[in-house]
Amino acid sequence: MADYYKEGFIVQLIFYALIWLVSEYIGLLLCMIMSFVIGGLLVFAYLVELVQKSKVPKAYFRWMLVSALAPAIVAIAFTYLYGGNFSWLQE
């Protein structure tokens, strides 16, 4: 498996940012849900790995970390960019 972490991270940042630009509400929900779900799976996988070693490659954990950080970073960046004043909160 090729180690394209930087490229994958950039693609995910662009994907989540485009969704955020289309709709702030859907972008925020998607970023939060994906961060928590993937982060939870990553924590669970680490705990299972500590209990019983498996043949899961280390690249899996790196990709999961990148996949959990990308939506969180986009959500933080856009929240800072909008100053927390979202249009869907005003309505």
Amino acid of residue 3: D
Residue 60 has pLDDT above 60, yes or no: yes
Residue 47 has pLDDT above 60, yes or no: yes
- DSSP characters over 8-27: HHHHHHHHHHHHHHH-HHHH
Distance, in Å, from the CA atom of 38 to the CA atom of 51, rounded to the nearest integer, reads 20
Give mean pLDDT, residues 24-28: 90
Q: Going by C-beta distance under 8 Å and a sequence separation of 6 or more, which residues neighbour residue 2?
A: none
Are the CB atoms for 16 and 71 separated by under 8 Å? yes
pLDDT at position 39 is 95
- Quote the tokens at residue 15: 């994907």
- The tens digit of pLDDT for each residue in 29-41 reads 999 999 999 999 9
pLDDT at position 91 is 65
Instruction: Choose between 82 and 74: higher pLDDT.
Output: 74
